[in-house]
Structure 1
Amino acid sequence: MTVTPGQQTGRLLLIQIGDGGGPEVFTNLCGLQTRSFNMSANDVDTTIPDCTNPGATPQKTGTPGIKNRTFTGSGKFVAGADQTAFMQHVIDATVFNAKVIVPGLGTFTGAWYVTNFTLGGEQEGTMTFDATFNAAGALSFVAE
């Protein structure tokens, strides 16, 4: 596979789960085949009508509101010690440290939690998972 200069390989978009130790060690969430990282902000409407000509069509204006950072991924469920530790956070609905590595951009590090986790599988296939992670606090960003 040839990657055009400046383009990034999608499989390098990663989420790494922290072990809670000091110093904390981060390991890749194994098995991911598809993944996405959403960076959005709510739109706070600041539109006001023209006070001198109230009949005029107002110009919509806005300002950024609450930031939202969400990582989603799906793939093959891989059992192991790292997966067991991660699954305990899912089972207990607890916050944990993680890094989202965006190739060509940088790394977002901080507290995360899983809002949705689904296991699935075909009768003759391997078990799969889908997961959604939301930021649980302010994230630090280090540019690449």
Structure 2
Amino acid sequence: MATGQQLGRLLLIKIGDGATPEVYSNLCGLKTRSFNMSANEIDTTVPSCTNPGGPVQKTSRPGISNRTFSGSGAFVAGAAMTTFMGYVRSASAFNAQVVVPGDGTYEGSWMITDFSFEGDVEPNMEFSATFVAAGELTFTAEV
């Protein structure tokens, strides 16, 4: 695994083209991006049967895990963006890789849960998107 500080711009999402073998291309234009890993908390707290009036220790176990990537930036036309927009318009799952510098790559089926275009009079058009795992992901640690 890499040591030291990592560049935020290397936190990437690579979109699969659906071919066999699958070819992944960086989703270009992202200026801000984040990758969230979380799990639901399942409460397993049980008051003491021998001392029901005593203090109760809260206990939990992990529940459903969630992996979400979000990003926003300049809309840059090209082959990868055309493929990506096809997935957005059809609301279909697609293969992608999230590359987290210093950690590794999360690969599998993803879907877009939120997408928007933004633009003012002078600046270039921008977009934002939220990606959620649509199936079980595989993790390959960075070497």
The residue correspondences of 1:57-136 to structure 2 (distance < 5 A) are 57-136=55-134
- Percent of aligned pairs with the same amino acid: 64
Q: Deviations over 1:6-30 (max 9, x none)?
A: 1100000000000011110000000
Aligned position for 2:23:
25
Q: Cα RMSD (Å) of the superposition? A: 0.8
Mark the runs of 5 or more structure 2 residues left unpaired by the alignment: none
Runs of 4+ with >2 A deviation: none
Q: Secondary structure at the match of 1:112?
A: strand
1:86-131 superposed Cα distances (whole Å, 9 cap, x missing partner):
1010011000000000001100000000000010001111001110
TM-score, normalised to structure 2's length?
0.96
CA displacement at 1:56 relative to structure 2: 1.4
Q: Give the total of aligned pairs.
A: 140
* Matched residue SS, 1:20: coil
**Once the two structures are superposed, what CA deviation does each residue of 1:43-92 show, in whole Å capped at 9, x if it has no partner?**
00000001111111210000100000000000000112221111010011
Unaligned runs of 5+ in 1: none
Greater mean deviation of Cα atoms: 12-21 or 53-62 = 53-62
One-letter code aligned to 1:85? T
Matched position secondary structure for 1:84: helix
